[in-house]
Amino acid sequence: MSKKADENENEDKKAKKGKKGKGKVDASAGPSVAAHPRASRQVRKAKGWGGLAGFAIAAYLSHKAGVPTVDLGLRAIIAGIVGYLLAWACAVTIWRHLVLAELRALADREPAHNPDFIPARATADHPAPAAEAAAAPSAAPSAS
Over range 54-58, report the average pLDDT: 97
Q: Does residue 122 carry a pLDDT above 60? A: no
Q: Which domain holds residue 93?
A: 36-108
Residue 139 lies in a domain: no
> Average pLDDT in the 58-66 region?
96
Chain Cα centroid distance, residue 16: 24
Report yes or no on 126 lying in a domain.
no
**Can you tell me whether residue 33 is helix, strand or coil?**
coil
pLDDT at 31: 80
% residues pLDDT > 90 (the chain): 40
Q: Is residue 18 part of a domain?
A: no
Q: Is residue 83 part of a domain?
A: yes
pLDDT value at residue 7: 61
Residue 66 lies in a domain: yes
Q: Is the pLDDT of residue 141 over 90?
A: no
Within a domain: residue 45? yes
| Structural domain includes residue 135 | no
Residue 44 has pLDDT above 50, yes or no: yes
CA angle 128, 134, 140 (to 5 degrees): 125
Q: Both ends of the chain: CA-CA distance in Å?
A: 86
**What is the rounded CA–CA span in Å between residue 136 and residue 144?**
13
> According to the model, what pLDDT value does residue 144 have?
46
Domain count, the chain: 1
Indicate whether 92 belongs to any domain: yes
pLDDT at position 47 is: 95
Query: Residue 53: pLDDT band by 50, 70, 90 thresholds?
Result: very high
